[in-house]
Amino acid sequence: MLYIHKLSDLSPKTAEVESVYLIRELKQKTPYPFNPQILGDYFSDFSLSATDKDAIDLALQLIDPTIIEMQNMLMERDPIYEEVNIQRAIQMLMEIPPALRNNQEYISEMMAWQSQFPAEVAALFNKIPQLRGQEEKVICNTQVNQLFQKVLRNNNFGFHFSDIIHEGPVAQITGLDEGMTKGFFFHISLEDDLKKIEYNTLRSKLPSEKVQQVELLRENIALIRKGLERAYQANMRMVNTALVLYSYVKWLTNR
């Protein structure tokens, strides 16, 4: 895609531009009239997998135990920790589950639909060039709109992403994951900070049990990050699906 790189980028304007090159490809790879098997093969690049769902499920399972462990660290009142950073991490993690659960539900719904999707699309799109009366066109238009609504979670042509995983949560969890590799949870003295001493050097001065405790937390954070990234990538694949569907409709209505 040339112009669609984020969930928010999909709009009638960007889809119109992107469809120009897509239609050429669709005509070559999926000739009209459409065969469900050929359509299924083409859309397989955008399909969702059990791996996506498993990563999201695991992330959801890990969030609460990870928060509890961080809260226990705060209760220690140990000056070795940077309490403000731990509090920020807790707050960030607490904000994730509602969106991730919504994403989990959305992906489960789309996965259940995937098996029937090619046949449904082929049957619907094969009708479009053959529509004659106004009544036929209205019925078909309603069915096409319902198709987009299902994929985009929206009555308008744009992906509704505000209540699921989008760029914001992914950037936050990425920042936390990367920060933990730099000693984000440990208090770094002003002197060490000014000298720009790396965490790998500083950690040798820290109690090994504390370092191990934070390392275990970082492993959880990395898995949570993977779950969010999987959810986001799945959402982008659905945006791609909508773009291809738009291109088909444009091609067929101008046929």
- Record the tokens describing residue 240, joined without a space: 């791609």
The model's pTM is 0.95
pLDDT (tens digit per residue) in 139-190: 999 999 999 999 999 999 999 999 999 999 999 999 999 999 999 999 987 6
Q: Tell me if the bond preceding 79 is cis, omega within 30° of 0.
A: no
pLDDT for residue 194: 63
Query: What string of DSSP letters covers 84-103?
Result: HHHHHHHHHHHTHHHHHHHH
pLDDT for residue 204: 87
Angle at alpha carbon of residue 95, lines to 93 and 98, rounded to 5°: 115
pLDDT classification of 203: cutoffs 50, 70, 90: confident
Mean pLDDT, residues 68-77 taken together: 97
Helix (H) or strand (E) holding 40: helix 36-43
Query: Is 48's pLDDT higher than 70?
Result: yes
Mean pLDDT, residues 31-42 taken together: 97
Q: Using an 8 Å Cβ cutoff, are 96 and 222 in contact?
A: no
The 10 Å Cβ neighbour count of residue 119 is: 15
pLDDT for residue 159: 98
DSSP state for residue 81 in the 8-state scheme: B
